[in-house]
Chain A
Amino acid sequence: MLAYFFRRILLTIPTFVALMFATFVAIRLVPGDPVEVRVGEHGMSPERLAMFRHELGLDLPVWKQFLSYVWQLLHGDFGTSLSTQQKVLTEFLTLFPATLELSFFALMFALLIGLPTGVIAAVRRGSYFDQALMSLATIGYSMPIFWWGLLLIMFVAVNLGLTPVSGRIDLIQYYFEPVTGFMTIDALLSDQPGAFLDALHHLVLPAVVLGTVPLAVIARMTRSSMLEVLSEDYVRTARAKGLSPLRVIGLHALRNALLPVVTVIGLQTSALLAGAVLTETIFSWPGVGKWLIDSISRRDYPALQGGVMLVSTVVILVNVMVDLLYGAINPRILHGR
């Protein structure tokens, strides 16, 4: 197990190097540099342009810039944002809990609905229920997130008034200093009556929007995996032994069907963390997705490079954890069989 763990960690090194290079090159391929995007209608004298480029090291050959960036990273320094002058790591740590909290609730929503739905659809294969659920899953999978978010805001929040429009808490009613960065936990710690429920209330729409695609994927995957398992001999044996249908499905079939579903959940977790950009923008959710988009438009090289590296680290770690979990569930993987 330990050897497998180290092998898996070693395998992430080339991924990091490739990421470092790709982010570094990609942002430089976008026209305009951090100095140019600051220039308004006034223009800037060539001397000032040259001075700022020199200060930021942008006048050095690109390979030298890359090497100094790698050197910085090796020293654990993710750099300083050019627009806010804050440490990239500090900014990331301030914003990441919001993304993590949203992703967690979105995943819970996807799992709590996706798993049972997939199981029921498999058990009632070919029924109207199955067909309706799978059609909905296809719609959910292909849902344009931006449109879906705005539709829910307009209908659920504005017309029906059932949820708040956006944000993480009622800004007029509640105010407390962030402690953990997780609004639900901070609301509990604040001791302000109603704050926790209000934070949960604010999570409903964004979690539904962000969780829609994973919900569809998990439901479909659970269904197909269950169908495969349900036709296995051991399930037939369990049924022949006279076990209750609930026990056959819940204990014998589902446990085995979960194996590929765990992988999908792992992949979806990575996708949630990395892909919350649109949801965060629509719901004014102060997470890392929006921060990275802003960094691109400001050509904030350090924030973007550092941010991508940090998000990638989390995504890679999640993948490693899923791999380890998978290895624990299915020992054949550990032994390379």
Chain B
Amino acid sequence: MKAITFAGLGLAALLFGSTAVEAKTLVYCSEGSPENFTPAINTTGTSFDAARPVYNRLTEFKRGTTIVGPGLAESWDISDGGKTIVFHLRKGVKFHSVKDFKPTRDFNADDVLFSFNRQWKPDSPYFKISGGKYDYFNDMDMPSLLDTIEKKDDYTIVMKLKTANVAILANLAMDFASIASAEYADFLLKKGTPEQFDQVPVGTGPFSFVAYQKDAVIRFKANKDYWGEKPLVDDLVYAITPDATARYAKLKAGECHINAYPRPADLPEMQKDSSLKVISASGLNIAFWAFNTTKPPFDKKEVRQALTMAIDKDAIIKDVYLGAGQPAKTLIPSTMWSYNDKIVDYPYDPEKAKAALKAAGVTTPLDIDLWYMPVQRPYNPNGKRIGEMMQADLAKIGVNAKLVTYEWGEYRKRAQNGEDITAQLGWTGDNGDPDNFFFLDGCTDGKPASNNIPKWCNAEFNDLLVKARVIPDQAGRAKLYERMQEIEHDEAPEFLIAHSTVFETMRANVTGYKQSPLGTHTFEGVDIQ
């Protein structure tokens, strides 16, 4: 009996012992190779996803939301009518170690200065490294927003803005604003290999970088000293798998736990498979068909409203989005704060549309050009097919739409210059702030090229847009955005098509994963059961 007990204990110890030391590895089947590991010089989601485990930012999006919270800055004070923000930095935050670099100090204000100056100041020694294109820093208008960034002490940063804009706090949570180690940068500069900075990243994030093999694998290990939500796995592996069908096969075979960008056609089968989980959320995007409000007859809102009622939106979502889209009634998706759910979408009613067109004094047949997008985008799976469906619907009310398109770069340029009469386009949000969507319909002070495709300028809408940038509290801002959505709905500068639905798939034993409305992938707090 005694012998059996000892044997049993021995076996148990062996079993528990072995499970206790076995490292937990989470495998994410990603869709491609990153350009490098410095978000500031990248533009693709693939590259941002690859660097995100390593870095933190001053502010962070709360996981699975677009709500901005503390990051490397524990708190901040806004003063001077929204033009000065003082950031109080977190103390005791450790940088990762890599093969030939061991940090000698904790994170401090110098790292913040370095990370922004690299993108902003041509005299930064790193400004020209790796091509020196800081697209997002420029796209988010940071050079025209920022006046100065200064270090008050090691743990206090004072950011002064040229014009008040509280939406900058959301910009700072974006990948391009990741904070890197200034000490590492100096070390590489002295060593004469500054390019290594963008290939072997050193940050403060939940995982530290281990190795990367182009088109094959990226390896990370859990940062045991992480200040935030601790990683629950020991190792994180990105298995680079460009083909969506192969990704699905790997997920099914258990070779990966989480799968990026499943093919919509595979979803029904995935949903039936009990070993898999499918989650979905409305994408942070919008597809629209813009009316050029500077050209007749679209300078009359009644004409725009009439055409809005002529198109069968549900048919487009069913046939082109294959159901993976939500009909849009305002510019922003329902997952965003300030979404005005009280707005009732225009009905699909060809008869009413015909009558409204007549009442607006338009004689039919009316000939228009309908520009359709030549490329597939996350918000628009098939511009041509949508164009053809619109064309057929418009014909029913006596509008002859001629389908027109150009090469994508040319298309966008011409549409931005207002050369169209009607054009499809869309938007993918950057930072989850409503301003990042509503600025699309803001007045552009007469500038010809802008993202305002309908060239619509409404004084009240624009006034509210500017006001919302200086109100520090979210509830106060939300009220203004709700009103702006009412104005926009009434004026109908665009026919709003859809927000695409984003799906993510994983093994059923994955727990704690939260889908980000921003389309990003993060793995702290994720476990395998």
Return the CB mask of B394-411 against A: 1 if under 8 Å, else 0: 000000000000011110
Of residues 394 to 449 in B, which have CB atoms within 8 Å of A's CB atoms?
A: 407-410, 412-413, 416, 425-428, 449
Residues A266-302 near B (CB distance < 8 A): 281-287, 290-291, 294
User: B475 to chain A: closest CB distance in Å?
Assistant: 29
Cross-chain contact A286 with B215 (CB below 8 angstroms):
yes
Contact assessment for A85 and B130 in the assembled complex, using a CB-CB cutoff below 8 Å:
yes
Chain A residues whose C-beta falls within 8 Å of the C-beta of B255 in the assembled complex? 164-167
B253 CB contact (under 8 Å) in A158, A168, A281, A290: A158
The reply to whether B246 and A39 form a contact with Cβ atoms under 8 Å apart is: no
Interface string of B129-150 (1 = CB under 8 A from A): 0110101001100000000000
Among A52, A84, A175, A282, chain B packs the most CB atoms within 10 A around the CB of A84
User: B198 interface residue, CB < 8 Å from A?
Assistant: yes
Closest to B135 in A: A38
Kindly state whether residue B243 has any CB partner on chain A within 8 Å: yes
Binds A, one of B62-70, B234-242, B496-504: B234-242
B207 to chain A, nearest CB (A): 15
Q: Is the interface of A mostly helix, strand, loop or mixed?
A: loop
Q: Does B18 contact A (CB under 8 A)?
A: no
Whether B249 lies near A166 (C-beta < 8 A) is yes
Chain B residues near A154 (CB-CB < 8 A): 249
Q: Smallest distance from the beta carbon of A330 to chain B beta carbons, Å? A: 41
B250, A83: Cβ atoms closer than 8 Å = no
Beta-carbon contact of B211 and A177 below 8 Å: yes
A167 and B133 alpha carbons, distance in the complex (Å): 33
Instruction: List the B residue with the shortest CB-CB distance to A91.
Output: B214
Check: A75 CB closer than 8 A to any chain B CB. no
- Complex CA distance for A41 and B428, rounded to whole angstroms: 7
What residues of chain A lie closer than 8 Å to B133, measured between beta carbons? 38, 52
Known A31-B407, A157-B253; contact A83-B239, beta-carbon cutoff 8 A: no
Our pick among A42, A95, A166, A175 for the contact of B219 (Cβ within 8 Å) is A175
B249 pairs with A158, CB closer than 8 A:
yes
Q: Quick one: closest A residue to B451, CB to CB?
A: A43
Chain A contacts with B in 160-199, Cβ cutoff 8 A: 161, 164-168, 171-172, 175, 177-178
Q: Which residues of B contact A172 (CB under 8 A)?
A: 25, 27, 237
Q: Sort chain A's interface into a size bin.
A: 35 or more
A153 at the binding interface (Cβ < 8 Å)? yes
- Measured between alpha carbons, how far is A36 from B410 in the docked complex, in Å? 9
Query: Which positions 189-214 of chain B face chain A at CB distance < 8 Å?
Result: 195, 198-199, 211, 213-214
B36 interface contact, C-beta 8 A: yes
Q: Which B residues are CB-close (under 8 A) to A94? A: 213-214
A46 vs B449: C-alpha distance when bound (angstroms)? 10
Our pick among B43, B217, B408 for the contact of A38 (Cβ within 8 Å) is B43
* A82 vs B428: C-alpha distance when bound (angstroms): 25
Say yes or no for A40: interface residue by CB 8 A criterion.
Answer: yes
Count of B interface residues, CB-CB < 8 Å = 49
Q: How far is the CA of A203 from the CA of B203 in the complex (A)?
A: 36
Contact assessment for B412 and A282 in the assembled complex, using a CB-CB cutoff below 8 Å: no
Closest chain A residue to B425, Cβ basis: A41
User: A83 contacts which chain B residues (CB < 8 A)?
Assistant: 35
Return the contact of A281 from the options B27, B216, B242, B425 (Cβ within 8 A). Answer: B242
Contact in complex: B237, A284 (CB < 8 Å): no
A337 interface residue per 8 A CB criterion: no
Q: Scan B456-498; emit 1 where CB is below 8 A from any A CB, else 0.
A: 0000000000000000000000000000000000000000000
By a CB distance below 8 angstroms, the chain A residues around B426 are 41
- In the assembled complex, B118 has its CB within 8 A of some CB on chain A: no
Determine the residue in chain B with the shortest Cβ distance to A32: B409
A165 to B138 Cα, complex, angstroms? 42
Report Cα–Cα, A45/B143, bound state, in Å: 13
A146 → B minimal CB distance (Å): 9
Nearest CB of A to B429, in Å: 10
With both chains docked as a complex, state the minimum distance between the C-beta of A7 and any C-beta of chain B, in angstroms.
39
From known contacts A91-B214, A161-B253, infer whether A43 and B449 are also in contact, taking CB-CB under 8 Å: yes
How near does chain A come to B197, taking the closest CB pair, in angstroms? 11
A150 contacts B by Cβ under 8 Å = yes
How far, in Å, is B52 (CB) from chain A's closest CB?
Answer: 18
Q: Which residues of A contact B25 (CB under 8 A)?
A: 171-172
- Give Cα A54 to B279, complex, Å: 45
Please indicate the chain A residues that have their CB under 8 angstroms from the CB of B410 in the complex. Answer: 31
**Judging by beta carbons under 8 Å apart, are B215 and A95 in contact?**
yes
Cβ-based interface call for B252 (8 A) = yes
Q: B509 at the A/B interface (Cβ < 8 Å)?
A: no
State the Cβ distance, A264 to closest chain B Cβ, in Å.
Answer: 30
Residues of B1-53 whose CB lies within 8 A of A: 25, 27, 32-33, 35-36, 43
Residue of A nearest to B427 (CB): A41
A44–B245 alpha-carbon span in the complex (Å)? 34
Q: A48: CB under 8 A from chain B?
A: yes
Do residues B131 and A284 form an inter-chain contact, with CB atoms below 8 A?
no
Q: With the chains together, A94 CA to B250 CA distance in Å?
A: 25
Q: Considering the complex, give the chain B residue whose CB is closest to the CB of A163.
A: B253
Q: Tell me the complex Cα distance, A36–B409, Å.
A: 6
Question: Which residues of chain B have C-beta atoms less than 8 A from A43's C-beta?
Answer: 412-413, 416, 449, 451
Mask of A128-171 contacts with B, CB within 8 angstroms, 1/0: 00000000000000000000001001100110010011111001
User: Using Cβ atoms and an 8 Å threshold, which residues of chain A touch B217?
Assistant: 167, 171
Report B-chain residues with C-beta under 8 Å of the C-beta of A168.
216
Are A42 and B139 interface neighbours, CB within 8 A? yes
Asked if residues B245 and A85 are in contact (CB atoms below 8 Å), the reply is no
Chain B hits for A150, CB < 8 A:
245-246
CB pair B412–A167 under 8 Å, yes or no, is no
Q: How far is the CB of B138 from chain A (nearest CB, A)?
A: 7
Write the chain B residue with the least CB distance to A56: B131
Among A32-76, those with CB < 8 Å from B are: 32, 36-46, 48, 52
Contacting residues of chain A (77-123) with chain B, CB-CB under 8 angstroms: 82-86, 91, 94-95, 98
Given A158-B253, A164-B255, the answer on whether A284 and B215 have CB atoms closer than 8 Å is yes
Using Cβ atoms and an 8 Å threshold, which residues of chain A touch B138?
Answer: 48
Q: B43 contacts A40, CB within 8 Å? A: yes
Q: Which chain B residue shows the least CB distance to A183?
A: B216
Residues of B within 8 A of A282 (CB): 243, 245-246
A42 CB to closest chain B CB (Å) equals 4
- Inside 8 A of B27's CB, which chain A residues have their CB? 171-172
Per the bound structure, the CA–CA distance linking A85 and B198 in Å amounts to 9
**Using a CB-CB cutoff of 8 Å, which residues 126-172 of chain B contact chain A?**
130-131, 133, 135, 138-139
A119 to B131, CA, bound (A): 58
Q: A40-B428, A167-B216 are in contact. List 9 more A-B contacts (CB 8 A).
A: A40-B135, A42-B451, A44-B139, A84-B214, A91-B214, A95-B214, A167-B239, A178-B213, A291-B215
List the 4 closest A-B pairs by CB distance, nearest first.
A286-B215, A286-B216, A42-B139, A36-B409
Some 23 contacts from A to B, beta carbons below 8 A apart, are A31-B408, A36-B409, A41-B451, A43-B412, A43-B416, A44-B135, A84-B35, A85-B195, A95-B214, A98-B216, A150-B246, A153-B246, A158-B249, A158-B253, A166-B255, A167-B239, A172-B25, A175-B211, A281-B243, A282-B245, A284-B246, A286-B215, A291-B215
